Amino acid sequence: TQARERGADVLLIDTAGRLQNKADLMEELAKIVRVVKKIDESAPHSVLLVLDATTGQNAVAQAQAFQDIAGVTGIIMTKLDGTARGGILVAIAEKFALPIHAIGVGETVDDLRAFDAYDFAAAIAGAEEEIDA
């Protein structure tokens, strides 16, 4: 309600640190969704799931749990700057029919990049040069 009182156009709720195997934290997330829906029935309008590329196949279980509780609408994949190539991102995007909004290629906010399917495919394939669109 504070965001509405201040006339905010956007309200960001960062629930970082929640793991799908921590029932108490996931229940808190479900409560956040319920409270937001009481204020605005159509909310949340966008739910971005931020996944760590180094988690591999566990990311599928994470995506499923967060999809069930919060209705994920898009994905951001971080830690694609090392050996992790993030191939699991393709599987998750396909399984849940979710758009990929951004990828993180470093440690700072400046390292967050808009997702480019051609560059991502080239990186997964190990290509040295970008693929021409």
Which residues, including other chains, have CB under 8 Å from residue 6's CB and lie 6 or more apart? none
Q: What is the CATH number of domain 2-125?
A: 3.40.50.300
Q: What is the DSSP string of 36-86?
A: HHHH-TT--S--EEEEEGGGTTHHHHHHHHHHHHH---EEEEE-TTSS---
Residue-wise pLDDT for 94-118, tens only, equals: 999 999 999 988 888 899 999 998 8
* Mean pLDDT value across the chain: 84
Residue-wise pLDDT for 28-81, tens only, equals: 889 989 999 998 899 899 999 998 888 888 889 889 999 999 999 999 998 887
**Cα angle 127-114-47, degrees, rounded to a multiple of 5:** 125
